[in-house]
Structure 1
Amino acid sequence: MNHDAKLPQIKADDSSPLEDKQAMLAAIIASTDDTIVSKTLEGIITSWNPAAERMFGYTEAEAVGQHISLIIPHDRLDEETFIIRQVKKGEKVDHFKTIRRKKNGDLIPISLTVSPIRNNSGKIIGASKIARDISEQEEAYEKQAMLAAIVATSDDAIVSKTIKGIITSWNPAAERLFGYSEKEAIGKHISLIIPPDRLGEEDMIISNITKGKKIDHFETMRMTKDGRQIPISLTISPILSPTGEIIGASKVARDISDKKAASEKQAVLAAIVGTSDDTILSKTLDGIITSWNKAAERMFGYTEEEAIGQHISLIIPPDRLEEETYIISEVRKGNKIDHFQTLRLAKDGKLIPISLSVSPVLDNSGKIVGASKIARDISAEQATQHEITKLYEQLKELNAKKDEFIGLASHELKTPLTSINGYLQIVAQRMTDEKNKIFLQKAQQQVVKLSSLVNDLLDVSKIQAGKLRFAIHQFNIRDVVEDAIELISQSNNNYEIILKTSVSNLVIMGDAHRIEQVIINLLTNAIRYSPGKDRIEVYLIQETNEIKVGVKDFGIGISPEKLGDIFSRFYRVDDTNANVSGLGIGLYLCHEIITRHKGRVWAESEPKKGSTFWFVLPCLADL
């Protein structure tokens, strides 16, 4: 369209001032970049300038005479009602942002200003509309809003500053990272967060920015409000004015504390792997070797270059390849294999016994992508274990021979001891000298002690051979306790043995002779380990479904660390305060007898205050 043809022709010699003004307005309307349209109060278009043609695509001929709804989307027709209402009131509508429709159906955002049109008498007869395409403005606004949202929601600290270092923006992530609120930071110098020993970095950064250079991933330290220093990765870009002048810098700071920690951890792990005496290697799920440490080189003879990229079967003997299938199947399930003993093949063909531990290797998403293997050469351990096994068998054999000897010797000793005791009794009947009778009695007492020791040794031998027998029958436990006390009291009349009980008659199942043997043994020990004392207390207590017997002395006591061993075979408490004899088998026999009666035995003691030995038996033992 020829815009010049539409301009009114003004003749300098015959035009009036009104005509001149009219011509000037027409020229402005025709040449403006803003759409200018007029319409009646009924919405009929009465004028349509060239900018309207360019904006909406309709020519003047197509538009004039049409209703203004020609360019209004259906969902915005109510806006026209509002606009006409305002115009009829004589009011102007300024910068009304809305959407209008082009001839081709495209929608465009516009800013609309509407003013009433009056006739010579001042009556409102229509409206003029000035519409400006704000597509670029809207796009810029949306882009700005999007950028603002990104900055506000970013996990990275984003800060802007002037060339002189004054902070001009400070996002929420910067608040979280450095501890300063936006209000506290904006207007302050960037040195607010720079450690004193790193202020020189700011000069370097500004020097690069003023040259238009971007700084990428600069790792440094910055300081929080509470004085902590945190490692960050810094990216700095120049900020340009609309004319292209560098007016400041934007900084994106990322906390790399986790990365630093991971890197340090990785370095430590690498050092451990590199210096480990154990072979450490990794492989893919297809069996391809991906790492190979120095210990692997020493163990198998292959260098790192020779091993990496090869299949793990490089070091697996042909007859053990099925092990690899098993190992990979377990790794794929996420299972770890611990201390799997096998053989592997060195470069020189030597078979090496190893203990193998295999763990799955996971990627960042938790997917199993391979396996790590730790292999330890157990050649020396196997040799040691073989030697230990051999020594153990020899020890078992010697121990069996020892038990056999003890049993045989004890059995052989019983016959002469019985004879000696018989002869002593005959001599005692014929002895008339009272002084010699005293010596004879002492000899008989020693024979009794020796016979008791031999009997104990025979019992130990029977226990080891599994031949200790019990004569099970019903008996009154109180009778057995009293008989034992009477027997010991006769030969130890300088001790008062006191029975403390409320039980008068309690029948249990068991071997009365063996239970009496236990009580006599405990009473004998109580006297033996309480020299200089004159009292022993015996307790007989009935509890729910069991009876409890205790023997208490007031002697030297037993150290706490030795209480756990006193029921062991041949164990004797090494106490320099007790000059007592014995083989250390009495309490062992007590333990075995009570345990085989389905009971339990234990000791309570305090050094220099005495000991109490307890045992419990079921009231109705089912032996």
Structure 2
Amino acid sequence: MLQVDLGTLATLHSQLEQHEAKIRRLVDANIIGIIIWDLEGRILEANDAFLRMGGYDREDLISGRLNRTDLTPPEWRDRDARTDAELKRIGAVQPFEKEYFRKDGGRVPVLIGLAAFGEERDQGVAFVLDLTERKRAEQALMRSEAYLAEAQKLTHTGSWVWDPRTEKVLYCSEEMFRIFGLDPRESLPSRDNFRQQIHPEDRDWVKKRFEELLRERVDTFAEYRVLLPDGTVRHINASGHPILNEDGEFIEFVGTAVDVTERKRAEVVGQRLAAIVNSSEDAIVSKDLNGTIETWNGGAERLFGHQASEVIGKSILIIIPPDRHDEELRILERIRRGELIRSYETVRMREDGSLIDISLSVSPLRDTAGRIIGASKIARDITERKRAEAALRDMQMQLAHANRIATMGQLSASITHEVNQPITAAVTYALAARRFLSAEPPNVREVDDALSLIVKEGNRAGEIVERIRALIKKAPARKDAVTIDDAILEVIALTRTEAANNSVSVRTQFAEGLPCVQGDRVQLQQVMLNLIVNAIQAMSGIGEGARELQISIDAVPSEGRVRVGVRDIGPGLSPESLSRLFEPFYTTKPDGMGMGLCICRSIIEAHGGRLWAIPCEPRGALFQFTIPGTRADGS
């Protein structure tokens, strides 16, 4: 009996040695990390695979510095406490993920499974698998999925996968949920869920197209609409690809849906805009920065006579007169600087060589990056407007001439007196000269003095006549540098007798060093003549008191202008007359035409200036106008 027991014991011992040898081979194989530990956390044994995971060596193990608790980061220690309790209770723990500290302070993710030894279960073995590579792969996959999701969001592209055998959706991206108005928090949608979201008008033909795909097993593409519960309509570009296995069996369908709603809206807007551009009476043309024509609308065809097919790809110089080619170079240079050119009036050339007046507006064209790549040009035919403006200018000139004649007519008595003065003086000096010649002996020196005075008075009469002739002569408007104070003094001289006849004293206040003004001397004198005569007439009805006319000229340096003022002390201006003073045919005079001040304002505005009136206290009125001054170089 003892012999049998000894044999059995020997067999068991042999089997135990064999098991230990197998375990040792497993440990030494270093396929996975293996440690032997006690309940105090000490690591009693570890293979090289485990030591390499944390960057430890055999010396660390022998010295007793390796402890399960110390190797565990604080946030994992509660989990370890539960693990130890479970080991005490049932002797084993299912594998779970955690982290260990590396020797360099870093962390290593691991999958660990534990089992306890003996009845006391105070020691055990743990199998540790390094998850670093798997975690990296998972993170890379998560990043890839995140990039894909972000790319789908940016491009409004959804994707889905469907199993034709089970008719179940295997995958649906977040963007797919959004496009079809489905809730991503719910379970994967079915094909019916997608189908119900398709616009009722498109649903049947889309279903038919999909069924054809299933039968023919070919790629498909379709554009349709999706109708969301809130009534929003989305336009979808959908595509699909069937996946077959080695046996040709249809195992998956991969589909995409692109939300092209904004593109569709842009296309509609673009089509409408194109229709508007093409139907515009104005010529609308685009060109690149070299002046090569890229688009040419119907208005351009009608205005210039060239068909779009004839000019696209050619230089814009085809419609620019040769003497204006430099003008196009200047326009392109301004466009390159990003400038907008508005209402630039110039001349262009039709296909038959005839010239037309146009108003040109040019804007820079930019690409999506904001770079200037060309120009958009709108050209409007202003030939008829130019003719009308010329006719209007001619009519205004005639009207202004008539007004000057009428004003001079009012001054006829004063003008007669002005002319008679030098003539009478000349006659008197002539009679005196005769007496000096009749004397014995003739007084030659006195005769010579008298003749000199006759010449002087004759010249003075000639100057007066010349000024009158200039005012009543009908001549085209000029643009000269006018010395404004000299021009106004000549008008004051013409009206001096009229002022005296009405007991009006004239006081002038002219600033020194006044700049010249650019304009027509006669027209500016006409304005002053009207204002002075009006002021004299306004004071003619004053019964008592001094009648004084103040004429001032000064410069307004901040505006680069010259300001002229004519002030009277007449009855002044009522609020009603002040608001209507410059209207055509409005007058407060019994025999007035109501055109004088209207013409004056037109003349001043044509000179780039402004004319206005101000009531004065306690009475009287001040009429002022400003016009641009010129520098010494005439600019």
CA contact (8 A) 2:578 2:613 kept: no
**3-state SS, counterpart of residue 72 of structure 2:** helix
CA–CA distance in structure 2, aligned partners of residues 190 and 142 of structure 1: 31
CA–CA distance in structure 1, aligned partners of residues 62 and 398 of structure 2: 113
Tell me if 1:208 matches 2:206: no
Q: 1:363 aligns with which of 367, 383, 404?
A: 367
CA–CA distance in structure 2, aligned partners of residues 73 and 584 of structure 1: 122
CA–CA distance in structure 1, aligned partners of residues 20 and 243 of structure 2: 43
CA deviations on 1:148-178 (whole Å, 9 max, x unpaired) are 6754893537475755887787776667666
Which position in structure 2 is the counterpart of 1:330? 334
Tell me if 1:278 matches 2:285: no
CA–CA distance in structure 2, aligned partners of residues 568 and 80 of structure 1: 94
CA–CA distance in structure 2, aligned partners of residues 311 and 73 of structure 1: 84
CA contact (8 A) 2:93 2:115 kept: yes
- Report the CA distance between 1:353 and its aligned residue: 3.5
1:444-459 alignment runs, 5 A limit: none
CA–CA distance in structure 2, aligned partners of residues 315 and 130 of structure 1: 84
- Report the CA distance between 1:223 and its aligned residue: 1.0
CA–CA distance in structure 2, aligned partners of residues 246 and 73 of structure 1: 53
1:357-436 alignment runs, 5 A limit: 357-398=361-402, 400=404
Which position in structure 2 is the counterpart of 1:37? 34
Which position in structure 1 is the counterpart of 2:97? 97
- The one-letter code of the counterpart of 2:618 is C
CA–CA distance in structure 2, aligned partners of residues 235 and 69 of structure 1: 65
CA–CA distance in structure 1, aligned partners of residues 305 and 621 of structure 2: 66
Which position in structure 1 is the counterpart of 2:229? 225
CA contact (8 A) 2:357 2:381 kept: yes
- Report the CA distance between 1:371 and its aligned residue: 0.9
**3-state SS, counterpart of residue 43 of structure 2:** coil
- The one-letter code of the counterpart of 1:154 is K
CA deviations on 1:460-512 (whole Å, 9 max, x unpaired) are xx9xx989756569xxxxxxxxxxxxxxxxxxxxxxxxxxxxxxxxxxxx977
- The one-letter code of the counterpart of 2:115 is S
CA–CA distance in structure 2, aligned partners of residues 471 and 132 of structure 1: 119
CA deviations on 1:309-345 (whole Å, 9 max, x unpaired) are 3343344344323322321232233322122222334
CA deviations on 1:584-612 (whole Å, 9 max, x unpaired) are 647969x99xxxxx988xxxxxxxxxxxx
CA–CA distance in structure 2, aligned partners of residues 385 and 622 of structure 1: 34
**3-state SS, counterpart of residue 277 of structure 1:** coil
Which position in structure 1 is the counterpart of 2:311? 307
CA contact (8 A) 1:45 1:66 kept: no
1:203-602 alignment runs, 5 A limit: 203-205=208-210, 207-208=212-213, 215=220, 218-236=222-240, 246=251, 251-254=256-259, 256-297=260-301, 299-300=303-304, 302-346=306-350, 349-398=353-402, 400=404, 469=499, 471=503, 514=541, 585=591
**3-state SS, counterpart of residue 618 of structure 1:** coil
- The one-letter code of the counterpart of 1:326 is R
CA–CA distance in structure 2, aligned partners of residues 403 and 245 of structure 1: 104
CA contact (8 A) 2:159 2:173 kept: yes
CA–CA distance in structure 2, aligned partners of residues 34 and 227 of structure 1: 61
Which position in structure 1 is the counterpart of 2:200? 196
- Report the CA distance between 1:220 and its aligned residue: 2.0
CA–CA distance in structure 2, aligned partners of residues 73 and 585 of structure 1: 123
CA contact (8 A) 1:161 1:190 kept: no
CA–CA distance in structure 2, aligned partners of residues 401 and 386 of structure 1: 22
CA contact (8 A) 1:175 1:181 kept: yes
- The one-letter code of the counterpart of 1:358 is V
- Report the CA distance between 1:144 and its aligned residue: 4.5
Which position in structure 2 is the counterpart of 1:143? 141
CA–CA distance in structure 2, aligned partners of residues 109 and 246 of structure 1: 37
CA–CA distance in structure 2, aligned partners of residues 515 and 75 of structure 1: 120
- Report the CA distance between 1:250 and its aligned residue: 5.3
CA–CA distance in structure 1, aligned partners of residues 400 and 229 of structure 2: 73
- TM-score norm. by structure 1 comes to 0.52
CA–CA distance in structure 1, aligned partners of residues 62 and 348 of structure 2: 89
Which position in structure 1 is the counterpart of 2:71? 78
CA–CA distance in structure 2, aligned partners of residues 264 and 232 of structure 1: 15
CA contact (8 A) 1:568 1:587 kept: no
> Structure 1's 277 and 233: CA in aligned 2 closer, same or farther, altered over 3 A?
same
> Structure 1's 74 and 28: CA in aligned 2 closer, same or farther, altered over 3 A?
closer
**What are structure 2's unaligned runs of at least 5 residues?**
1-7, 416-490, 506-536, 545-569, 599-611, 623-635
Q: 2:127 aligns with which of 129, 136, 149?
A: 129
CA–CA distance in structure 2, aligned partners of residues 123 and 351 of structure 1: 109
CA–CA distance in structure 1, aligned partners of residues 350 and 169 of structure 2: 65
- Report the CA distance between 1:281 and its aligned residue: 1.8
- Report the CA distance between 1:278 and its aligned residue: 2.9
CA–CA distance in structure 2, aligned partners of residues 110 and 245 of structure 1: 40
Which position in structure 2 is the counterpart of 1:116? 116
- The one-letter code of the counterpart of 2:116 is P
CA contact (8 A) 2:293 2:311 kept: yes
Which position in structure 1 is the counterpart of 2:617? 618
- The one-letter code of the counterpart of 2:127 is K
- Report the CA distance between 1:373 and its aligned residue: 1.4
> Structure 1's 404 and 472: CA in aligned 2 closer, same or farther, altered over 3 A?
closer
CA deviations on 1:342-361 (whole Å, 9 max, x unpaired) are 23345555444332221111
**3-state SS, counterpart of residue 363 of structure 2:** strand
CA–CA distance in structure 1, aligned partners of residues 143 and 211 of structure 2: 28
> Structure 1's 263 and 570: CA in aligned 2 closer, same or farther, altered over 3 A?
closer
> Structure 1's 277 and 40: CA in aligned 2 closer, same or farther, altered over 3 A?
closer
CA contact (8 A) 2:242 2:250 kept: no
- The one-letter code of the counterpart of 1:313 is L
Segment drifting more, 16-25 vs 393-402: 16-25
CA deviations on 1:214-265 (whole Å, 9 max, x unpaired) are 555x432111112232323345566999x997466655442x3332222122
> Structure 1's 167 and 197: CA in aligned 2 closer, same or farther, altered over 3 A?
farther
- Report the CA distance between 1:39 and its aligned residue: 3.7
> Structure 1's 123 and 622: CA in aligned 2 closer, same or farther, altered over 3 A?
closer
CA contact (8 A) 1:39 1:68 kept: no
- The one-letter code of the counterpart of 2:342 is D
CA contact (8 A) 2:158 2:176 kept: yes
- Report the CA distance between 1:186 and its aligned residue: 5.6
Aligned residues: 443
CA deviations on 1:54-113 (whole Å, 9 max, x unpaired) are x979xxxxx99775699x9999972399799866975655434357899xxx99854222
CA contact (8 A) 2:161 2:255 kept: yes
Which position in structure 2 is the counterpart of 1:479? none
CA contact (8 A) 2:572 2:620 kept: no
CA contact (8 A) 1:317 1:344 kept: yes
**3-state SS, counterpart of residue 330 of structure 2:** helix
CA–CA distance in structure 2, aligned partners of residues 278 and 69 of structure 1: 95
